[in-house]
Chains A and B, each alone.
Chain A
Amino acid sequence: MANRAVEIRRRPRGASSEAPRAELRTPAQLAWRQLRKHPMALAGGAVLVVLYLLVVFAEFLAPYSLDFADRERFFHPPILPRFADSQGFSLRPFVHGTTLVDPGLRRYEADPTRRYYLRFFVRGEPYRLFGLFPSDAHLFGVDPPGRIFLLGTDQSGRDQFSRILYGSRISMTIGLYASAVTIPIGLLYGGISGYYGGRIDNVMMRLAEFVISIPDFYLLLTLSAVLPTQVGCTTRFYLIILILSFIGWAGFSRIIRGIVLSLKEQEYVLAAKAAGLGDLRIIARHILPQTASFVIVVVTLGIPGAILGESALSFIGFGIREPCSSWGNLLTQASNLPTLILSPWLLFPGLFIIAAVVAFNVFGDGLRDALDPRVRAG
């Protein structure tokens, strides 16, 4: 109390109506203060920001389009920009032109006499930024017939870097969409089950347990076999989200039910009942908001699960299919061992999966600590 008195006295006159700052922190501010103490979590958050920037600006950042294929440069090893070669040093980064010398072993030979300088903000294939603004500017590129394949190419000579960027659209968002479906269902289902208890609870939870009791991957596999094969990529994307949600809602609602079971005994629920509020209103307006911090954590830690699920599914050919790209789908080519051995750069999409999932896990763990009042030191 003494501190507070001091603070009030020191405050400049104009702001005298404000309460002391320390007492007015919103839960979000408190969480942020905690989160700042976790350097790992912040780093994870930063990686996520970068990855989502890639998602948003994929067309601009990718030197080539999703379907661009240079048939003469299939399984081309990565071409990195360089500053020097036998011809001498150059301040402008450049790449060499290459020619295929052995189609069987897929060996390419660089030709030092053909230099292609790396240029920024080049005009290339047209696209629509955010699906709205027509543009043909790309962050970087080289003049044709030179090529820049930062992470190599696949069997049809498509630039893997560009395809990874386009693939991030699916891989990085599928978890968000799946959560957006799972959470409302799980909240409502778990909320009703926990609130009413008794026979309703019993029946609802048995039903959820049917889904929980089938091993996730088995269910994922059988469900995706149901998907129609003749649909476009977008439709398939949404169907996979439905499948991931179908698997996810049950476990989530069971946890929510557990929380609601303990929350419904609290006095404010009794007060709401005494005030004559309807059951659904009590569940939706008074009980479920209490689970908010838990839900935030579950979402952050659940998204990597969805990313891994989608990539596993696409990897075995049941998820996103050609010609679309997702990180798991890109890895499919690497599952052919002779191909993988000659072209190990086909493993690069896996590194993006790992980076994204690590970032989500680290960030989620930090967030859980930050939102948990028990861990809060001061």
Chain B
Amino acid sequence: MLQYIVRRLLQLIPMLLGITVISFVIIQLSPGDFLAEMRLNPIVSQQTVDQMRRNFGLDQPLYVQYLKWLWNAVRLEFGYSFAFQVPVTWLIGSRLLNSVLLNVALFAAAWAVAIPLGIFGARRQYSLADNTLSFVAYVGISTPVFFSGLFLLYIAFRTGWFPIGGMTSIDYEFLPWTGKVLDVAHHMVLPVIAYGVFGGAGLMRQMRASLLEVLRQDYVRTARAKGLAERVVINKHAVRNAINPLITIFGYSLGGLLGGSAILEIVMGWPGIGKLLLEATVQKDLYVVMAALVIGSVTLVVGNLIADILLALSDPRIRYD
């Protein structure tokens, strides 16, 4: 097992190299660069632009730029943001924290709602409640996050119960720490609902399908035949086995976290990494885009690795060697 993990981690290196090369080429393909806007500005002289171009290393050939970037990235220095004039590491650091915070909340909410509902649906297959839930789940997985986000913002304005977008209130800095926590939590409610409908619906369907599969097994019939209470049959025999495939999904969704919440952050004005990526892409802030892509990819790949490990841990039939 340890050997397997080490091998997978080693495979990560060429993978990351490939991803960074692809990202670098894609970004360089896009027309114009960060200085394009400055060049059009009559106040900024041509010398200044040339000077900045040299400072940022934009005058060097592509592969030199890439190798320099790579050499720095290995030492966890992701360069300098053109637009914000701070090291990318600073910028990404705070945004990443916000994204992780939001995602943990989304995740917890989606699982807390989806698992019980999935079990409920499977136990009463094809009942009115189950059919209703199934239909709601269909609508849930089919609703674009930006639509549910906008809709909730509209509701928030009409009712005045929740803040409209953002992560903190204007007076955030003056609040005591309990107030700060409550303020952020208050801002988090809408995104969690918007995403919970989406993320939770898919999970619920998985849980329901998985439990239905298990309930058809012989050992469940045996458990019932020997007179166990239905509650014990479900909770001890069925659900524990049905949850197995969901553990894998847990790992995979760990990987998909950052990518999944990006558009939600954009709509809700949450200062996370997805929003940063959008802004950076618009401004051609090369190194910020690179860093965001690398971080997103690393989480995805590591999440998949965790999924595989969890699967092996939870299911003794699976062996990697």
Interface residues of A (CB under 8 A from B): 40, 206-207, 209-211, 213-218, 221-223, 225-226, 228-229, 304, 308, 311-312, 315-316, 328, 331, 334-335, 337, 340-341, 344, 347, 350, 353-354, 357-358, 361-362
Contact = CB atoms under 8 A, between A and B. Distances in A.
Contact of A217 (B23, B30, B142, B262): B262
Contacts of A358: 138-139, 142
B22 interface: yes
Given A221-B277, A226-B31, A354-B143, 14 more contacts: A206-B18, A210-B18, A218-B292, A225-B282, A316-B263, A335-B267, A340-B154, A347-B154, A354-B142, A357-B143, A358-B138, A358-B139, A361-B142, A362-B138
Contacts of A308: 144
Interface in B126-157: 135, 138-139, 141-147, 150-151, 153-154, 157
Interface of B: 14-15, 18-19, 22-23, 26-27, 29-31, 135, 138-139, 141-147, 150-151, 153-154, 157-158, 164-165, 256, 258-260, 262-263, 266-267, 274, 277-278, 281-282, 284, 289, 292-293, 296-297, 300-301
A214 B153 CA distance: 30
Nearest to B296: A215
A341 B157 contact: yes
Nearest to B135: A40
Given A217-B262, A217-B274, A218-B293, A210 B142 contact: no
Contact of B142 (A221, A304, A312): A304
Contacts of A344: 154
B15 A225 contact: no
Contacts of A315: 144, 146, 263
A331 B146 contact: yes
Sort A-B residue pairs by CB-CB distance and give the 3 closest, nearest first. A215-B259, A357-B142, A350-B147
- Select the residue from A225, A316, A357 with max chain B CB neighbours within 10 A: A225
B14 A350 contact: no
Given A215-B259, A358-B138, A337 B153 contact: yes
Contacts of B26: 222-223, 226
A209 B15 contact: yes
Interface SS of chain B:
helix
A218 B277 contact: yes
B14 A213 contact: no
Interface SS of chain A:
helix
B142 A229 contact: no
Contact of A225 (B30, B138, B256): B30
A19 B283 CA distance: 70
B139 A354 contact: yes
B273 to A, nearest CB: 9
B144 A312 contact: yes
Nearest to A227: B30
8 contacts: A214-B293, A222-B26, A311-B146, A312-B145, A335-B146, A341-B154, A350-B143, A361-B138
A214 B23 contact: yes
A209 B8 CA distance: 13
Nearest to B18: A210
B12 to A, nearest CB: 9
A209 B259 CA distance: 16
A226 B29 contact: yes
Nearest to A315: B146
A213 B165 contact: no
Contacts of B301: 213
Contacts of B165: 337
Given A347-B150, A353-B147, A316 B15 contact: no
Contacts of B284: 225
